[in-house]
Structure 1
Amino acid sequence: MMVKLFFFIFLFHLTFIRSKTKHYKMKIITVQAPVNIAVIKYWGKKDENLIIPLNDSISGTLSMDHLCATTSIAFSNEFDSNRMWLNGVEVKIDDNKRLVRCIENVRKLAESTVGWPSNHYIRICSRNNFPTAAGLASSAAGYACLCYALCKLFEINDPYIISSLARLGSGSACRSIYGGIVRWIAGYDHQTSIARQVITENEWPEIRIFVCVVSDHRKDTSSTSGMQLSCQTSSLIKYRAENVVPDHCDQIQKAINERNFDKFAEITMKDSNQFHAICQDTYPPIRYMNDTSWSIVNLIHFINHSFGHNVACYTFDAGPNACIYCLDNHAPILIKSIRRMYQKNDGTELEIKGITYQTDQIVIDQKINDYIDSRKQNAEDLKYIISTRLGSGPKILTNQFDSNCLLLDNGLPKN
C-alpha cells in the first residue's frame, strides 16, 4: 500500500512540474526601448549593489522614432551557451556583473512561472541608433530594452517588477520602462526603489526636445565611476540629496501637472547647474561640459531674457551634449538660432535629424541676432541636432525571425 501511495505522489509531482515548465525548442522576441533625459538628476547611490539612489529623479522619455535601443533575444535548447552582441561586437556576459544579475533575476522569476529549463540558453543581440557612452543615457535604454525583452519572453508583465529589474542593470533604466514624464522614487530597498509615471506622452504633447550632439565619443569618466568619486569626496552631494532635490522634485512635478513651462524650465536648468557643480566639487574634479556646452547655456539664457520668460531650458547629463526642452511654438526659432550660431562659412547649415521645422519665414529678434553674430562658434564643434518629442515606453516589435529581428535562427547576429 505504501509503495502504491509513494508511486502516486511521485507521478503527481512529475506531472505538476511538467505542466508548470514549458518545453520549447526556440523562443524569440525583439523589443525597442527609449532613451530618457533627466530634468532632476540622479547622481550617487546609497546602495551600490542594489543601485538605490541618494535621491528621487525625474525624466522625460524620448520618442523611439528618433532615439532607441533595439534588442533581440532567442531562447533555445539548441544553443550550448549564453552569448551577447552589442552594436556588432560580442561581449562576454560573465564579465559584466550587472548583466549577469539581470539575467539571473529574470531566470528565478521565470522558474516560478513558465519555467526556464536547465538545458536552454539565450542569445542576445542589441544595438543603439545613437552614440553610446557619450552622455546620452545609452545604458538606460539598453538595460530597459534587455529587461523588458527578457520579462516579456517569460510572460512577466508587471511593470513595477520590470522597472526594478532594469534598475539593477542601470539605475536610470527603470525610468525608460514608462513613456511621458517619469519619477524614480529613491526608496530604501529593491521593492521600494521603483519608477512611476507622472504623465503620459499625450498629456503634454507640445513638448519638444533637441539633443545637441557636441561629442559622440566615449566620455573620459563613466557615470558609475563619477558617482562613486563624488560620494567619496564631495561635501555638497549629501546636502543636495537631502535639502535641494526634494524641493526641486515637488516644484517641477507641480509645474508639470499645471503645464507651467516657465517654472519647469527654471527648475530644470537650476538642477542641471547644481549637478555639474557637484561634479566640480568632486576631487579630483570631473568636467563633463566643455566650451561648446557653455556656449549653448549662454545662448538659451539670452533667448529667455529676450522673451521675458523661459521659452527653453537646457539640461546636461554626464557628458557635453546639451538637451534642450521647449514647447512646439518656440521650436522653430530655437532651431534657427542654434543653426546660425554654428553656421559654416559657406552657409551650410547644421544637420537636423528627426522632426524638421520650416524656418525660412522665421524672423529672429535683432537683439538675438546681434548676440549670435558677436559670439559665432566653430561650426565643427556641434555635430548635429536630434529633434524629437516625448514618447512611449518599450514595445515589442516581433516574435519572429523577420526583418525586425537582429538574430538569425541559428542564434547568431545578422551582421
Structure 2
Amino acid sequence: MDAIYKATVTAPVNIATLKYWGKRDVALNLPTNSSISVTLSQNDLRTTTTASASLLYTEDELYLNGSKEDVSSKRIQTLFRELRALRKAEEDKQTGSLVPLSKYYLRIVSENNFPTAAGLASSAAGFAALVKAVAELYQLPQSNEELSILARQGSGSACRSLFGGYVAWEMGSKADGSDSKAVQIAPYEHWPEMKAAILVVSAERKDTPSTSGMQLTVKTSSLFKERVNSVVPQRFEQMKKSILEKDFETFAHLTMADSNQFHATCLDSYPPIFYLNDVSRAAIRLVEDINKVAGEVVAAYTFDAGPNAVIYYLAQNEQLVLGPLRAALKNLPAWKEESHSHIQELMSDDFDKRWVNTLHSGIERIILTGVGQGPQLSTNSLIDKNGNLWGSSF
C-alpha cells in the first residue's frame, strides 16, 4: 500500500495588545502598522492540525472541525504553492534521497477547541498551524521567523502565532513583503505571571468580517490615518519596553488605550462598524471599577474585531480581578474548581450593579488562561494510517 506521510502540530491563539488593523497591500496581507500580541496557553485555546501527503490522494483537501473546506481561495493556494516550492528546493538539493512530496496532493485536517470566527483569533491559530504542520511534513529548514512571512499571507495575525510569549509583527517596508514578519519580544518564561480572562459574549460569527472591515476603515476613516502615522509607532516602542521591564501599569494603560482607539476608528468608518455591544461596554466599566477598588491598575481590557472581552492581569492580583468576575458571572461553565477554589466572590458597593447585571445576562462562557508557548509537535494525529480522518472512511 502507498505510504501516508504526515505530521501534526498544535498552534496557539494570540490576542493583540497593540492592534493590527488595515492593509497597505491586500493581496500580500501587508499591514499599515506594526503590532504586538500575547500568545495564550494551548492548554486552553489551540488549533490541532495534521498535514499529510500521499500518492493515494487525488486532490488537495482541507477539513476544519469535521467539515470539508474550499481550498480554491487565493490565500490557501498561495500557501500550498510556496510551501511546495520550498520542499521542491530541498528535493533538488538532495537528488534521489528525499521522497518527492512536493508532487503529492495534501490532505489537511484541523480542529479548534474553541468557537471559530467569533472574535477569538481562530484564523491566526489555524493558519499558523497549517503552515507549521506542512513545514514539519516537508521537513523544511526555515525558521519560525521565515515561516511567519508565509503564515501572514494566510491570515495577517497568524504570523504572530508562530511564537510563544510576547510577539511583535514588524510591518516592514519592502513592496514584496519579505521584511513583514513576526519576531519574539520575549519568551513566555520572561513574564509567566501574565494571565487572561476571556469573556465570551457571543460564539456566533461576526457581522462584519475583519478583512472587509479593515478595507472600509482604511478607505473612509480620517482617525485611522492619524493612528497609523503618529500614534502606533510611538506606542509600539513603549509597549515593547513595558514588556521587557515587566511594567504592568504601563502595559495595561497602553493596551486599553489602543483597544479604545481601534474601535474608535471602526466607528469613524462609513458606514460605521460595530464590534462592541452593551455587554462589551459593561465589561469595560467593570474593569474600571476593579482598578478603582484596587487603588491601582490591576486589570486591562482589550477587544479584537468582536464583542468578546480579554482581560489581562498578573497572577498576584488574581483575587482582585477574578473575585468580582466570579461574583458577577455565577454559574457559568468556567471556573476550574480544583485550581480556582481559593478565589472568593468579591463585590462591594463601589461596583456599579448595572455593569454586573448586564454581564451576568450577556456572558455565555469565561475562559481562564495565561501566556503560553508557540507551536508544538503532537503525536495525536487527526488522520489514521490509511489517510482517513479518524472515525471516517470517506
Per the normalisation by structure 1, the TM-score is: 0.87
Partner residue of 2:364 out of 370, 375, 383: 383
The residue that corresponds to 2:3 in the other structure is: 25
The residue that corresponds to 1:4 in the other structure is: none
Query: Whole-Å Cα distance in 2 between the matches of residues 378 and 53 of structure 1?
Result: 34
Query: Whole-Å Cα distance in 2 between the matches of residues 73 and 372 of structure 1?
Result: 50
* Cα gap change, 1:263 to 1:354, in 2 (>3 Å): farther
1:407: Cα distance to partner? 1.2
1:413 aligns with 2:389: yes
Moved more, 313-322 or 152-161: 152-161
The residue that corresponds to 1:296 in the other structure is: 283
1:332·1:358 contact (CA, 8 Å) conserved in 2?
Answer: no
Partner residue of 1:259 out of 217, 240, 246: 246
Moved more, 320-329 or 108-117: 108-117
Deviations 1:102-159 (A, max 9, x none): 1110011111013645652111100110111111110000000000111121122322
Moved more, 270-279 or 238-247: 238-247
1:237: Cα distance to partner? 1.1
The residue that corresponds to 1:185 in the other structure is: 170
Q: Structure 2: which 5+ residue stretches go unaligned?
A: 93-99
1:341·1:377 contact (CA, 8 Å) conserved in 2?
Answer: no
1:44·1:228 contact (CA, 8 Å) conserved in 2?
Answer: yes
1:85·1:126 contact (CA, 8 Å) conserved in 2?
Answer: yes
1:325: Cα distance to partner? 0.4
The residue that corresponds to 1:394 in the other structure is: 375
* Cα gap change, 1:354 to 1:110, in 2 (>3 Å): farther
1:306: Cα distance to partner? 2.2
Map 1:60-79; keep pairs closer than 5 Å.
Answer: 60-79=38-57
2:85·2:102 contact (CA, 8 Å) conserved in 1?
Answer: no
1:42 aligns with 2:24: no
The residue that corresponds to 1:18 in the other structure is: none
Per the normalisation by structure 2, the TM-score is: 0.92
- DSSP-derived class of the 1:113 partner: helix
Query: Whole-Å Cα distance in 1 between the matches of residues 139 and 208 of structure 2?
Result: 38
Deviations 1:29-72 (A, max 9, x none): 11100000000000000011111100000000001011000101
1:358 partner amino acid = S
Deviations 1:193-230 (A, max 9, x none): 01110010011011101111111110100100100111
Query: Whole-Å Cα distance in 2 between the matches of residues 77 and 354 of structure 1?
Result: 49
Moved more, 348-357 or 74-83: 348-357
Query: Whole-Å Cα distance in 1 between the matches of residues 309 and 338 of structure 2?
Result: 17
Moved more, 123-132 or 78-87: 78-87
Partner residue of 2:185 out of 198, 221, 226: 198
The residue that corresponds to 1:371 in the other structure is: 352
Partner residue of 2:255 out of 256, 268, 288: 268
The residue that corresponds to 2:335 in the other structure is: 352
- DSSP-derived class of the 2:63 partner: strand
- DSSP-derived class of the 1:210 partner: strand
Moved more, 376-385 or 164-173: 376-385
Query: Whole-Å Cα distance in 2 between the matches of residues 320 and 355 of structure 1?
Result: 29
Query: Whole-Å Cα distance in 1 between the matches of residues 359 and 162 of structure 2?
Result: 38
The residue that corresponds to 1:110 in the other structure is: 87
Query: Whole-Å Cα distance in 2 between the matches of residues 314 and 176 of structure 1?
Result: 20
1:405 partner amino acid = S
Q: Structure 1: which 5+ residue stretches go unaligned?
A: 1-23, 399-403
- DSSP-derived class of the 2:222 partner: coil
1:129 aligns with 2:107: no
Query: Whole-Å Cα distance in 1 between the matches of residues 160 and 102 of structure 2?
Result: 32
1:209 partner amino acid = A
Partner residue of 2:196 out of 209, 217, 220: 209
Pair member with larger Rg? 1
Query: Whole-Å Cα distance in 2 between the matches of residues 142 and 363 of structure 1?
Result: 36
Query: Size of the alignment, in residue pairs?
Result: 380
1:354·1:386 contact (CA, 8 Å) conserved in 2?
Answer: no
| Cα RMSD after superposing both structures | 1.9
1:354·1:387 contact (CA, 8 Å) conserved in 2?
Answer: no
1:170 aligns with 2:148: no
1:376: Cα distance to partner? 2.3
1:289·1:319 contact (CA, 8 Å) conserved in 2?
Answer: yes
The residue that corresponds to 1:154 in the other structure is: 138
Identical pairs, percent: 42
Query: Whole-Å Cα distance in 2 between the matches of residues 262 and 295 of structure 1?
Result: 22
1:349: Cα distance to partner? 5.0
- DSSP-derived class of the 2:213 partner: helix
1:277 partner amino acid = A
Query: Whole-Å Cα distance in 2 between the matches of residues 33 and 194 of structure 1?
Result: 17
